[in-house]
Structure 1
């Protein structure tokens, strides 16, 4: 969820670190959630294969 506080943090991050670093962090955060879901699916599949 985007709030004024998160916008301020992003603007500060971009101003201090540069645009490429801010985009990289943003993508890592998004991909982390998807990787966690993928890991859970793989573990469930392995459990079903063992049965």
Structure 2
């Protein structure tokens, strides 16, 4: 995560917040960013592939 993204996330929080709330929000934003990057890179699994993977469980 870039520092600018973390600062932006902090600015969106109210004046007083719980530290756990900040950590959860930063983790969420980071995971979303990583997921979007995977989509850009073509690292996706389509619905039918997921169904086949789940059948093997």
Structure with greater Cα Rg: 1
Structure scoring higher RCO (CA < 8 A, sep ≥ 6) equals: 2
Q: Normalised by the size of structure 1, how large is the TM-score?
A: 0.47
The structure carrying a bigger helix percent of its residues is 1
